[in-house]
A and B are shown apart, each in its own frame.
Chain A
Amino acid sequence: MDDRFLNELQQAPDPAFESELGARLRRQAPAPLRAAFPWRPAVAVAAVAAVVVSLFAFPSLRVSAQSMLDMFRVRNFAAVKFDPSRLQKLHGQGQNDGLLMLGKTETLQEPGKPLTVSTPDAAGAIAGIDVETPSELPRNLVLQHITVDGAAAGRLTADATKLRALLEALDIRDLDVPQSIDGKTITVRKPAVVVQSFGSDHRHAVLIQAKSPDVELPAGVDLNRLAEIGMRILGVERGQAHQLAQTVDWHTTLLVPVPPNASSFRSIEVNGNHGLLITTQGDFAWEHERTSGPNASGGSSSPTPTQAAGPPRDGALVLWSGNDRVYALMGDLEGVELVQMAESVR
């Protein structure tokens, strides 16, 4: 007797049994599922991906408030759950223009239209970096196209009155906006971004890399206070916002807003560097069209999660930094696959 004989004991289930059980499962009402869900696994990774794409895309300075708080020299990541309805509320109040809600904005450098190139080296020549690529591609993924979003820069002149009005509109009355920020300028520089898109028949992944964006702040600005205000605007709970504001090094930490419906998010290491893994279930569908908002003159050329195309799948996003560079890798793959892929980026 050998292994083969043991295997021969295997047998396919009776078709009638298979059919009957399948039908019985389908008849079971899904209603309790929603009640049992502590949070709906809907926007999670897709929303964070949207934040990241926006962070990198930076079209005509129309970035969101949290992006302003994020962009210093990114070395660490901190995830906080935020209230997605807050963004909808902001949009409902006509605050789609991001930084406009905080003051006057000026464009110092337009990113121009994204360029499609044929090789990583060509992308690197435009972006001014040695473009890194993953050596491990799960699920038969292949490199499909590469684009480069141009560098951009802008300046914000803070308006304390506008900011106070915004906080009041959001019913945040326990935070004072320091008058000292009024008229202060913040200069944001976003380097060129290289976007590599990978795909197979059914799966997709996008690797985004760029030098760390940086922000020049005038001396004397209370970063902790600004960070706390920014988090509260995003709907982060009062106590958590205060604690994070006091403990995080805002000169090096990218704050990643995670909706409360993320299935998981946790700190990881990617090749010895700090990173963040966010996963969810059934959220990712993909399209390969340029993503841009109604007012954006630039925008990301990367394929992004969308409601419009393709079946939804489990999704994940890996963010990490290293060598003064920031990376984002997202796809409709399992988290462990994306982490392995991230670790192979050289």
Chain B
Amino acid sequence: MASEAVIGRRTSWLSPAREADWDALYAEQLPRVYNFFRYRVGPGPVAEDLTSATFEKAWQARHRYRSDLAAFSTWLVTIARNVATDHFRSRRHHVPLDEARDIAGGATPEELAEHRSNVERLGRLLGGLPERERELIALKYGAGMTNRSIAKLTGLGESNVGTILHRTIEALRAGWETPAVEAP
């Protein structure tokens, strides 16, 4: 057969070029997964641990990824959701939300202090959300997913996702606008 001589015999993920693709995917997707966990469990070392667990699972299961079924980012977030579920199942409580230690550089001391305060405060508000609402916020603002993608991932209707997110944001806004009570 004429063309058989040029049949590529490559094995995905194993060839150097494919590993280069993995490097690119890793660089592209790491912030999404990491931020998903920042919103999901709060900033800090736990978010890093769960991000690591997600990528390690993805790496081990990379041969099962089906590009014809889902985008790589969706597949990765699916793994991240399972990792989060396992985490909560094993911990049975939320990690402390005042672990915000990583503040963007280049700002003035006043801006840094305000940013740290905002992160901690938002973290506390997120920590008070029901599981489903918090996960949707994490998918939307942490992983940067669209309502449609979230709907596909979670099995909720797209309009339902929009409604829940709207109400959740309203609740967060109300909490944000309520003056913080200083501890005695």
Contact = CB atoms under 8 A, between A and B. Distances in A.
Nearest to B175: A1
A293 B5 contact: yes
Contacts of B51: 13, 17, 21
Contacts of B2: 50, 53-54, 57, 59, 62, 291-293, 296, 299-300
A283 B10 contact: yes
A81 to B, nearest CB: 16
A171 to B, nearest CB: 22
B132 interface: no
A325 to B, nearest CB: 21
Q: Is the interface of B mostly helix, strand, loop or mixed?
A: helix
A308 interface: yes
A212 B51 CA distance: 52
Most buried by A among B8, B48, B141: B8
Interface residues of A, number: 76
Most buried by A among B11, B31, B141: B11
A281 B7 contact: no
B89 interface: no
B32 to A, nearest CB: 9
Contacts, number: 190
Interface in A311-329: 311-314, 316
A312 B164 CA distance: 42
Contacts of B6: 50, 287, 291, 304-308
Given A18-B30, A25-B56, A264 B66 contact: yes
Interface string A11-54: 11110011001101110101011001100111100110111011
B87 interface: no
A248 interface: no
Most buried by A among B55, B67, B177: B67
Interface string A273-305: 000010111111101000111101001100011
A235 to B, nearest CB: 14
B4 A50 contact: yes
B59 A282 contact: no
Nearest to A55: B1
Interface in A45-78: 46-47, 49-51, 53-54, 57, 59, 62-64
Contacts of B11: 40-42, 282
Interface residues of B, number: 57
Interface string B148-184: 0000000000000000000001001100110000000
Nearest to A335: B68
A343 to B, nearest CB: 15
A79 B48 CA distance: 45
24 contacts: A1-B172, A5-B122, A11-B35, A13-B51, A21-B51, A24-B56, A43-B8, A49-B3, A50-B7, A54-B3, A54-B4, A63-B1, A279-B68, A280-B12, A282-B10, A285-B10, A291-B6, A296-B2, A299-B2, A306-B7, A311-B17, A311-B18, A314-B67, A336-B68
**Shortest beta-carbon contacts, A-B, top 10:** A282-B12, A311-B17, A293-B2, A50-B3, A281-B12, A335-B68, A312-B10, A306-B6, A1-B176, A279-B68
Interface of A: 1-3, 5-14, 17-18, 21-22, 24-26, 28, 30, 32-33, 36-37, 40-43, 46-47, 49-51, 53-54, 57, 59, 62-64, 87, 91, 98, 263-264, 277, 279-285, 287, 291-294, 296, 299-300, 304-308, 311-314, 316, 334-336
